[in-house]
Amino acid sequence: MKQTLITLVEDKPGVLNRIASLFRRRNFNIVSVVSGSSETPGIARLTIVVDEVDRSKRGTIYYNLLNLVNVIAVKDVSELPCITRQFILVKIEANTEKFNEIEYIVNNYGAKVVENSSESIIVEAADEKEILDQLVASLEPYNITEIMRTGKMSMRKGMTHNVSSDNTKSKLEKWQPEKINVYHN
């Protein structure tokens, strides 16, 4: 199983570079990183997926991330109930005779056509990885010319933990309600 970490960081230049350098120095493979604004001004939320199965190495990744400058909080949600999504854009060669077939497939996957021109058809979808893989496989006979896909985004189900942009230990403990002395995921 891949390790999934939700990380809250200060929204400042160089933070993502520090995180990437940490993984490079430790020789860990990042499968995907999705970064964006959070509900709190000045704080960005990252979902980082790492290809690591060894529990002790997972702990190393967790603690090293937590100790980085500008990192406010880290939560390993690999084995916790989460909603996960990926986003995809798929460009298909325009084919007016087959547009109805393509539209039928797209609608069956909850996706939508966002461009239909004389040159191309662009489809967008957001869902779990397996569903998007099936969508791509269903569209392959129609000559896919480009695919752009995000990595995994995760949000833990249940309680929300508030974090202020004021990086204090008491605020950090609100986001991580269980006191972690030993890595247990």
Domains identified in the chain and CATH numbers: 3-81+157-175 (3.30.70.260), 83-149 (3.30.70.1150)
Q: Say which DSSP state 7 is in.
A: E
> What integer pLDDT is reported at residue 53 of this predicted model?
82
User: In terms of Cα–Cα distance, which of 157, 158, 163, 153 is closest to 40?
Assistant: 163
Q: Who's near 83: CB < 8 A, 6+ residues apart?
A: 154, 155, 157
Instruction: Return the CA Rg of the chain.
Output: 20
Contact at 8 Å (CB) between 62 and 75? Answer: no
> What integer pLDDT is reported at residue 131 of this predicted model?
96
Q: What percent of the chain has pLDDT over 70?
A: 86
| Token pair belonging to 109 | 């996957």
Contact at 8 Å (CB) between 113 and 121? Answer: yes
Q: What is the pLDDT of residues 83-120, one digit of tens each?
A: 999 999 999 998 778 889 999 999 999 999 999 998 89
Cβ neighbours around 183 below 10 Å, total: 14
* Predicted model pTM: 0.79
Q: What is the pLDDT of residues 160-173, one digit of tens each?
A: 655 544 543 444 44
